[in-house]
Amino acid sequence: MKFELLGPYIPMFANGLAVTCEVTVAALVIAFALGFAIAVLKVPPCRPLRALLDFYTSVFRGVPLIVLLFMAYFATPQLTGYKISMFAAGILTLGLNGSATVSETVRGGIEGVDRGQRDAAESIGLDYVKTMRLVIIPQAMRSVAPALVNEVITVLKSSSLVATIGLMDMMRAAQSVQALTYRAFEPFLVVAVVYYVIVMVLARVGRALEKRLK
């Protein structure tokens, strides 16, 4: 192993790490905002709306992520005439795909809250939105927090797929270094270690959050 060959390429890895973090954070904002909205909309007994949202989640849960990413980046210009950027294609695909998982997780937590909690909230005059925001979702979060932390980790690791469309994240940086140095093990080991460290930090944060919620 010749790790000294990677010295000149440290800035490339650093820039790749920054892009990975940007893609992950932006995708998580979309996933959590849209996922919570879908979960709340699925709870009321409105069959047409629920059927539409169920179809939405089934598409993103049933189609491989890389296929969705390729469709977003390569097929969008064909259909619309607008060339979407690699960054936008990455965050939209990861965000929409993540929202399907988040919505099902949160919906399960909401439906797991005792029905009496909603009745009590309605009896003191709270409307549906306030009941969800002040009574139901805070209780649901206690049970779904670990699953949501796992979704954060999943989005982080899935962000490496943006390298397949050319976005210079950590994975793409490692591929570029491999092409320049003709060494594969060293650059990919560096990327693996960085991902591992970030995931371990997130896992510790998740355990601390779960303990605090309990």
Question: 175 CB contacts (<8 Å, ≥6 apart)?
Answer: 163, 187
pLDDT digits (tens, 9 = 90+) for 6-51: 889 999 999 999 999 999 999 999 999 999 999 988 887 788 888 9
Question: 56 CB contacts (<8 Å, ≥6 apart)?
Answer: 38, 100
More confident residue, 44 or 186: 186
Residue 1 above 90 pLDDT? Answer: no
Tokens 């904002």, residue located: 29
Q: Mean pLDDT, to the nearest integer, of 109-123?
A: 87
Q: What is the pLDDT of residue 101?
A: 93
9-to-3, 5, 42, 81 alpha-carbon distances in Å: 11, 8, 48, 37
Q: What is the pLDDT of residue 119?
A: 86
Q: What is the pLDDT of residue 154?
A: 95
Number of H helices, E strands in the chain: 10, 0
Residue 143 above 80 pLDDT? Answer: yes
Q: Quick one: tokens of 50? A: 């629920």
Check residue 4 and report its DSSP letter: G
Q: Mean pLDDT, to the nearest integer, of 176-187?
A: 92
Q: Mean pLDDT, to the nearest integer, of 118-137?
A: 86
Q: What is the pLDDT of residue 115?
A: 83
Give a three-class secondary structure readout of 12-60: HHHHHHHHHHHHHHHHHHHHHHHHHHHHHHHCCCCHHHHHHHHHHHHHH
* Burial (CB count within 10 angstroms: exposed 0-12, middle 13-18, buried 19+), residue 51: exposed
pLDDT digits (tens, 9 = 90+) for 39-86: 988 887 788 888 999 999 999 989 999 999 999 999 988 988 888 999
Entry pTM:
0.90
Residue 160 above 90 pLDDT? Answer: yes
Find the range with the poorest average confidence among 31-35, 123-127, 196-200.
Answer: 123-127
